[in-house]
Structure 1
Amino acid sequence: MNAMLDNTVLDKLMINEAYFTHKHIQLFQDSCLKTNLFDKDFVDLTVTSPPYNVGIEYNSNDDELNYEQYLDFSEKWLSNCFYWTKPQGRLVMNIPLDKNKGGQRAVGADLTKIAQKIGWQYHSTIIWNEGNISRRTAWGSWLSAAAPYVIAPVELIVVLYKGDWKKTNGSKISDITKEEFMTWTNGVWTFNGESKKRIGHPAPFPRELPRRAIKLFSFVGDTIFDPFCGSGTTLIEAELLNRVGVGVEIDANYCELAKNRILKEVEKIEAFIN
């Protein structure tokens, strides 16, 4: 573990009791809709995949809101993340391109507009090509121009920032290789999604997503945050990449899942190193 990492940030967060603390990770069982959960300006980079409002069962989370309620929910958590983020901090959110359940909705565009209204600056959108076109189950009007559906096997990774884009705070130490930088600054990322069955969560994202985001958009020693921590993927990558990881997850079962995954993955790497 890099010597520059310390628990100063985590010590300050102890105004709230953590569900789980390990090395440079803290996980809180709570709701990210509570603004007073943390003090302001502690996050360098948020990497998250918020609930998609597509009827997926998330245990404690109601993921079957009507669309206006969903946008209100999104505005609340995006506002809180803005409050918790340092100047020059970034937010990377993995969201759908669109939604066709209950009517066609441009989810990605709507959430980006909401974020900008809050004060987030828009930087770019990365297209994540999952290659899951085989999962398509409906074409609308089959072989007819009457009402065909167009389904894209991609998701969006929207990159936002607070204040200035150029990052002048933090350690200024990057751990990204030339090959990674050249590949990841291309706006189309192609890698497979994660298995729900293997992880035990209805909507896990693959470790490759936070790994790329953390190395590309943060310095070594920065504080990485995930307000919808789920199975703990972002925190695992934060710890393994010499960052401080802070997560919030409302569901106790997923907190326990995240805790067990973090312990398993971090200890696996430590055993390999030793």
Structure 2
Amino acid sequence: MTITNDIHNNLKKNNTIFNYKNIMLYNDSVLNKQLLQPQSLDLIITSPPYNVGIEYNSNVDSNDYKEYLEFCKIWLKNCYFWAKNGARFCLNIPLDKNKGGQQSVGADLTQIAKKVGWRYHSTIIWNEGNISRRTAWGSWLSASAPYVIAPVELILVLYKGEWKKQYKGQSDIQKQEFMDWTNGLWTFNGESKKRIGHPAPFPRELPRRCIKLFSFVGDVVCDPFSGSGTTMIESYLNKRQFVGIELDSTYCELSKNRFLEIIKKEGGLFE
């Protein structure tokens, strides 16, 4: 199977920003349901906008919370439409937020995902080593109105249809990796915005673990908020096919350049 023939509708060929060795990146919107064929993705890994005022080039990240949840409902439904039966979905989201008012983001997005059809499997707690810099305490040293902020994020593990895959594929995960990563508490540092050149990158370790734990070699991985191309890089290096969707053309170019630079240093060809 090749991505170009079997996954994409190719309705707007000029929005294909990058195509290399079964790695495809679209400069398009996750809200465009017609972009990909239904039943075409094996694994989705993404971290969507958190609606906390991050300054993205092409996305408003400070909408009314109800509007934000409606936006999430649409793109979660599109991902479900594109996913194969048996597909997995690793969704990196905050546990909660207090910017613009206290909101239970993780719980709310979990419920929306289930309503559009996704089934819940488990939640991985990501203990991000550099997330603990506090900027708000509420009422200092007082019970009046303190803020409680957990220095973790969630990786929500969802699936479509049945959890057990109905076909046999090649797994490439090692024994110690499997033992460590099936422990639902993952501890590794976040990524530097300045080093990557993107306002909200996640570290390569996150998609690497999800790819090896939840997919077979050659499976099709998708990141519908492809950002700086981290999932694209790890998909290629771990011999998976990839399709990314990124609204901002500047981030698409960043992804392309970063991808080519890294695989030149680290990766061989994936035929």
Residue matched to 1:194: 191
For residue 271 of structure 1, report the CA deviation from its aligned partner: 6.9
Counterpart amino acid of 1:168? Q
Residue matched to 2:110: 112
Contact in 1 for aligned 2:131/2:190 (Cα 8 Å): no
CA distance in structure 2 between the aligned counterparts of 1:221 and 1:271, rounded to whole angstroms: 15
Residue matched to 1:174: 171
- CA-based RMSD of the aligned residues comes to 1.3
**CA 1:225 to 1:133, structure 2 compared with 1: closer, same or farther past 3 Å?**
closer
Residue 252 (structure 1) aligned to one of 249, 254, 267: 249
How many matched pairs? 265
Contact in 1 for aligned 2:9/2:36 (Cα 8 Å): no
Residue matched to 1:11: 5
Residue matched to 1:203: 200
Q: Per-residue displacement from partner, 1:187-220 (whole Å, max 9, x unpaired)?
A: 1000000000000000000000000000000000
Is 1:241–2:238 an aligned residue pair?
A: yes
CA distance in structure 2 between the aligned counterparts of 1:59 and 1:133, rounded to whole angstroms: 23
Counterpart amino acid of 1:67? Y
Percent identity between the two aligned chains:
65
Residue matched to 1:28: 26
Residue matched to 2:143: 145
CA distance in structure 2 between the aligned counterparts of 1:228 and 1:191, rounded to whole angstroms: 21
Residue 35 (structure 2) aligned to one of 34, 37, 61: 37
For residue 23 of structure 1, report the CA deviation from its aligned partner: 1.3
Counterpart amino acid of 1:206? P
- 160-169 vs 262-271, greater mean Cα deviation: 262-271
For residue 14 of structure 1, report the CA deviation from its aligned partner: 5.8
CA distance in structure 2 between the aligned counterparts of 1:38 and 1:150, rounded to whole angstroms: 41
TM-score for the superposition, normalised by structure 1: 0.94
CA distance in structure 2 between the aligned counterparts of 1:101 and 1:199, rounded to whole angstroms: 25
Contact in 2 for aligned 1:174/1:220 (Cα 8 Å): yes
SS across alignment from 1:82: helix
**CA 1:125 to 1:270, structure 2 compared with 1: closer, same or farther past 3 Å?**
closer
SS across alignment from 1:149: coil
Counterpart amino acid of 2:242? G
Q: Per-residue displacement from partner, 1:107-165 (whole Å, max 9, x unpaired)?
A: 00000000000010000000000123541111111011111111111000000000000
Residue matched to 1:184: 181
CA distance in structure 2 between the aligned counterparts of 1:185 and 1:119, rounded to whole angstroms: 25
Query: Structure 2 stretches of 5 or more lacking a match?
Result: none
For residue 62 of structure 1, report the CA deviation from its aligned partner: 1.1
- 60-69 vs 130-139, greater mean Cα deviation: 130-139
Counterpart amino acid of 2:144? A
CA distance in structure 2 between the aligned counterparts of 1:264 and 1:271, rounded to whole angstroms: 12
Contact in 2 for aligned 1:226/1:247 (Cα 8 Å): yes
CA distance in structure 2 between the aligned counterparts of 1:40 and 1:241, rounded to whole angstroms: 24
For residue 102 of structure 1, report the CA deviation from its aligned partner: 2.0
Residue matched to 1:231: 228
1:210-229 pair list within 5 angstroms: 210-229=207-226
TM-score for the superposition, normalised by structure 2: 0.95
For residue 75 of structure 1, report the CA deviation from its aligned partner: 0.4
For residue 67 of structure 1, report the CA deviation from its aligned partner: 0.3
CA distance in structure 1 between the aligned counterparts of 2:267 and 2:220, rounded to whole angstroms: 21
1:79-94 pair list within 5 angstroms: 79-94=77-92
Residue matched to 1:49: 47
Counterpart amino acid of 2:83? T
For residue 236 of structure 1, report the CA deviation from its aligned partner: 0.4
For residue 10 of structure 1, report the CA deviation from its aligned partner: 2.5
